[in-house]
Structure 1
Amino acid sequence: MGEVNDTGGIVYSIIQILVLIYFRRGQNHDAQICKHHYHFAFSVAGRSQL
């Protein structure tokens, strides 16, 4: 069961890194799209950790 939690943590950190890259590349239209994907990925990651 520990492996599942570890995988969730890895996915979570990958999402955070991707979000940082997106926000640094361009804070215009892309930022809005990124926010949408960010919230979606967050809900998926939250469900996988439960």
Structure 2
Amino acid sequence: MVKELQSGYLTGITGTFQDPDGYLVDDAEVEKFDAAFPSKEKKKLPWQLA
């Protein structure tokens, strides 16, 4: 997932993209992890995406 900014810069470069570990998480696992901490009010502020 790369776009050259200078023509020919990536000539001869090969490879594959792989999402890093921890990039995708299971919502149920997040809730389980969060349960180990003292309860706090969850807020969604206007500028947050999710």
Q: Same fold (TM over 0.5)?
A: no
Q: Which has the higher helix share?
A: 1
Q: TM-score, normalised by structure 1?
A: 0.23
Rg bigger for which structure? 2
| TM-score, normalised relative to structure 2 | 0.23
Question: Higher relative contact order by CA 8 Å / sep ≥ 6: 1 or 2?
Answer: 1
